[in-house]
Amino acid sequence: MNIKRFFKKNKRILIIMSVTMILLLIVFYALFAMFIMQREQVATFLYTKEMSSELYPVTILSMLFFLLATIFFSFFTIFCIKIFFPNLRSFRSLFLPNDRQFLRDLPQQIRKEVFRNE
C-alpha cells in the first residue's frame, strides 16, 4: 500500500489523534503546574485524606486528563488495527471462517459416516 494513500485514507483518525495529543499535553502541563503551585494542599490531602476547595480544579483536570488519555489510546488502538489489517477481508481471515465452518460440521459428518457403516 502506498504511504501517501494510507495517510489520506486514515486522515480523520490521525487528525483526531494529533488534536487529542495536543490537548493531552496542555492538560498535563496545567495539571503539573497546579500540583507545583498547590504542594501544601496536595500533601495535606495525601496525609489526611481531606480535600480542600483549592484541590477541586486539580481533580477536574485529572479527570479530564484521564478522559483524553482514554480517547487517545482508543484511537491509537484503532489506528494499529488498521495498520495490521488494512482491509475487511484480512480482518475476517483472522477468525478463520473456513476452519470454524469445518469444525461446526464435523460432528454431523461423523454421525453420517457412523450411520452409513451400520
* Mean pLDDT, residues 84-107: 77
* Cα dihedral 26, 32, 37, 38 in deg (nearest 10): 120
34 and 71 part of one domain = yes
* Mean pLDDT, residues 40-46: 85
Position 27 confidence tier, pLDDT thresholds 50, 70, 90: very high
20 and 59 part of one domain = yes
108 and 69 part of one domain = no
11 and 51 part of one domain = yes
Q: Which residues of 26-45 are buried (b: 16+ CB within 10 A; e: fewer)?
A: ebeeebeebeeebeebbebb
What is the count of structural domains for the chain?
A: 2
pLDDT score at 67: 95
Count the neighbouring beta carbons within 10 Å of the beta carbon of residue 68: 20
71 and 106 part of one domain = no
pLDDT score at 118: 67
Cα Rg of the chain (Å, integer): 27
26 and 70 part of one domain = yes
Cell, residue 37 = 503551585
Could you tell me the pTM of the whole model?
A: 0.68
pLDDT score at 18: 93
In which domain, by residue range, is 111 found? 92-118
- Residue positions counted in the chain: 118
